[in-house]
Amino acid sequence: MSITIDNAEVEALLADLTATTHRAAPDLLLELLRRERERVEDEAERRIAEGLAADEAMRRRLNASPLVDPRPIDEILAYDEHGLPA
């Protein structure tokens, strides 16, 4: 598969890197793409971990909060035998 990149800045940067590192353009591009994929995957894992930690913190706060009304839910809602509020 071949890739055509019609961007002068990309071409200039790639030419500069190949001259500086003495590495072939495909090797440089492959390494850069692998690094970017790893960075994106790491970022996704970090965001998932942060979300799970936030969820756990919220559950802990909820479980630690005092019970405002200790009555059973049926008693609080107080519906009669016809399902209407009492």
Which tops the pLDDT comparison, 44 or 67? 44
Span 25-62, pLDDT tens digits: 999 999 999 999 999 999 999 999 999 999 999 999 99
1 pLDDT exceeds 80? Answer: no
pTM confidence score: 0.63
Angstrom CA distances, 31 to 11, 37, 39, 55, 62, stand at 16, 10, 12, 36, 46
Mean pLDDT of the chain: 91
Mean pLDDT on 12-35: 95
Distance CA 3, CA 5 (A): 6
Domain-by-domain residue ranges, the chain? 8-65
